[in-house]
Amino acid sequence: MAGGVDGISQEWWDRWWKEDWSWEGLAKKPWEGWVVPKPGAEPVPDEEYDRRTGHPDAITRFGPEARKATLQDYWRDQADHLINWSDAEGHTYLFTRLHLPLHWPDGSRTPKLDWSSDALNHLIETRLNQVNERAFEETHRSEVDWRAQFQGVIFADFSIDRFTPRLLPEAEEGKQLAVSFRSCCFTGYTRFAFSTFARDVEFRDAAFANDTGFYETSFNGGAIFEQASFSKDALFKMSTFHQITSFHQTTFNGYTSFEEALFSGSVSFDGVSFRGKSLFGQTRFASGANFANAVFTRGSDFRDANFAGDARFTGAIFLENVSFIDAKFDGDARFNGSNFAGQANFSCATFAGSSRFHNVFFAGYALFPGAVFAGTAWFDETAFAASAIFSKASFAIFASFDKTVFADRAVFTGKGASVATDSIAGTLTSDSDFGRLNLDIPQHATWVAQRSFPDASFACTLFLGDANFANRDFHSQTSFENSVFLRPAAFHDSKLHRGITFRNTWFQDGLTRDKMVKVVPTKYKRTWNEGLNRLFNAENSARRAKGENEIEYGTWLEVFNEKRQADEDEFCKLKSEGDVGKSERAKYFGKLEDCYRTLKHLMEDRRDRHEEGRFHKLELRARRKRRRPAINISEQWLSHLYGWSADYGNSVLLPIGWLLVGSFVLAGVYTLMGTTGPAHFGHDLFAPYSAVDWGETLSYSFSRVFPFGGWGDPDQCSMIGQMLAADGVGLEAPCGQVEGRVDRDFVGGTPLALKALTTFQSISAIILIFLAGLAARRKFQIN
Question: How confident is the model over 737-774, as pLDDT tens digits?
Answer: 555 566 666 665 677 777 788 888 788 888 888 888 88
Q: Please give the pLDDT value at position 782.
A: 59
Contact (CB, 8 A) for 663 and 705: yes
In this structure, are residues 436 and 260 in contact, taking their beta carbons and an 8 Å threshold? no
Answer yes or no: is 422 within a domain.
Answer: yes
Give every CB contact of residue 257 below 8 A, 6+ residues apart in sequence: 233, 234, 235, 236, 237, 278, 279
| 279 located within any domain | no
Going by C-alpha positions, the residue among 327, 323, 273, 325 that lies closest to residue 295 is 273
- pLDDT tens column, 120-137: 888 898 888 888 777 776
Q: Are residues 92 and 24 in the same domain?
A: yes
Single residue among 546, 568, 593 that ends a domain in this structure: 546
- Are 496 and 605 within one domain? no
Residue ending a domain, choose from 627, 650, 673: 650
**294-308 residue pLDDT tens:** 999 999 999 999 999
Task: Name the residue range of residue 594's domain.
Answer: 577-650
User: Of the residues 632, 650, 668, which one is the last residue of a structural domain?
Assistant: 650
Distance CA 415, CA 512 (A): 32
Contact 300, 318 (CB under 8 A): yes
Are both 665 and 632 inside the same structural domain?
no
Note the pLDDT of residue 509.
75
Query: Is position 48 within any domain?
Result: yes
d(CA 726, CA 673): 13
The amino acid at residue 116 is S
Q: Which of 761 and 410 is assigned the larger pLDDT? A: 410
Same domain for 442 and 369: yes
Collect all residues with Cβ–Cβ distance below 8 Å to 224 and sequence separation of at least 6. 200, 201, 202, 203, 204, 245, 246
- Asked if 591 and 704 sit in the same domain, the reply is no
pTM above 0.85, yes or no: no
* 455 in any annotated domain: yes
Residue 314 lies in a domain: yes
pLDDT higher than threshold 50 for residue 435: no
More confident residue, 253 or 714: 253
User: Can you give the length of the chain in residues?
Assistant: 783
| H, E, C per residue of 668-681 | HHHHHHHCECHHHC
Cα–Cα dist 601/604, whole Å: 5
Verify that 608 and 624 share a domain, yes or no: yes
Closest-CA residue to 453 (of 403, 487, 510, 415)? 415
Distance (Å, rounded) from C-alpha 495 to C-alpha 471? 8
Structural domain contains residue 87: yes
Query: What mean pLDDT value characterizes the chain?
Result: 83
Note whether 676 and 534 are same-domain residues: no
Residue 580 CB neighbour total at 10 angstroms: 9
Q: Is residue 570 part of a domain?
A: no
Same-domain pairing of 491 and 515: yes
Nearest to 727 by CA among 736, 738, 716: 716
**Most trustworthy range by pLDDT among 51-65, 150-164, 244-258, 655-669:** 244-258
Per-residue buried b or exposed e for 349-365, using 16+ beta carbons within 10 Å of the residue's own CB:
bbbbbbbbbbbbbbbbb
Question: Is residue 541 domain-shared with residue 673, that is, in the same domain?
Answer: no
DSSP, collapsed to helix, strand or coil, labels residue 67 as strand
- Asked if residues 405 and 383 have their Cβ atoms less than 8 Å apart, the reply is yes
Q: Of 218-222, 421-425, 539-543, 680-684, which has the strongest mean pLDDT? A: 218-222
Tell me, yes or no, whether 163 lies in a domain: no
C-alpha triplet 99, 105, 110: angle, nearest 5°: 55
Chain segment 3-17, per-residue pLDDT in tens: 678 889 889 999 999
Same domain, 608 and 533: no
Please give the Cα distance from 461 to 8 (Å, whole number). Answer: 48
Domain co-membership, 422 together with 513: yes
pLDDT at residue 614 tops 60:
yes
Domain count, the chain: 4
| Residues 587, 698 within the same domain | no
